[in-house]
Amino acid sequence: MQGVALTFYFTFVHFPRSQYLTTASTVSGSILEIRNDITKHFALSKNNTDLQKENVRLMEESNLMSFVSLDNGLVKINDTLHKQQYSYVPAIVINSTYDKRNNYFTLNIGSAQGVKRGMGVFSGKGVVGVVHNTSEHYSVVKSCLTETINIDIMVEETGQFGLLKWNGRDARRGTMSGVSNDTEIKKWSTVVTRGGGGIFPRGLKVGKVEKADVVEGKPLWDITLLYSEDYRSLQRVYVIKNLLLDEQRELEDLIPNDPVQ
């Protein structure tokens, strides 16, 4: 009887009915808003993953760094003139450090996805490290914030090359060693990968020259770099597979050693 009475009351009396409908709409709206926020969170994660996969496809199909030229001069990219040299595997950083002397981060992919020790890793902003070890489904990467990183890099504008190192002081800054001071190094010059070691394609961003000081007693520059990537907030990366690396290393193994003096 109470149910019937309330039904008639809310149906035929205007003010209570409007209050009821307003309250119901507010509650429903709040529930829908919460549900939408949760849905957006998971949808954003999926969209980011889809975007990462699309980036891989575009890099492999249209990025000249992914190909080795089979002819000289300006050429059209097709199967007869270019052979793909690099492929890329998207990954997510699931654990990382940046405040130790030697820092590593963990990826959610491993040997099951073809990842091997020694492969290069980069993000959308620049180089981030080298694969240190793998299991079937995970990889540990030695980041650029380690003592023995030694990545082959160069000043893009001049071609001067050296090694990327880290002194353990600042997660936003590295150093470039082995550069002769007989050529000027301009502030904010772009530093990129040289590509000589076969781990990274030539031309991936590393950072910019923040300052260059003469090394006392040596004809070298002491170069400080501002990293392109902020390793304190690293999330999505790509592992690099050099499809021609074995060929390069087999040939380089034939180089004779210098005779013992």
Q: How high is the pLDDT of residue 150?
A: 92
Assigned domain for 124 exists: no
Q: Look at residue 104 and tell me if it is in a domain.
A: no
Examine residue 171 and state whether it is found in any structural domain, yes or no: yes
Query: 226 lies in a domain?
Result: yes
Instruction: Tally the residues of the chain.
Output: 261
Residue 126 maps to a domain: no
State the total domains in the chain: 2
pTM strictly above 0.75: no
User: Is 244 part of a structural domain of the chain?
Assistant: no
Q: What is the domain extent for residue 32?
A: 2-47
Mean pLDDT, the chain cut into blocks of 10 residues (261 residues total): 63 52 49 55 58 64 52 43 82 96 97 96 96 97 96 95 96 96 94 92 96 93 97 95 88 80 52
CA atoms of 91 and 123, how far apart (whole Å): 10
Cα–Cα nearest to 41, from 31, 33, 29: 33
Looking at the domain assignment, is residue 135 inside a domain? Answer: no
Separation between Cα atoms, residue 94 and residue 135, nearest integer Å: 15
pLDDT of residue 47: 55
CATH at 189: 2.40.10.350
Task: Give a yes or no: residue 42 inside a domain.
Answer: yes
Tell me, what's the pLDDT at 1?
A: 73
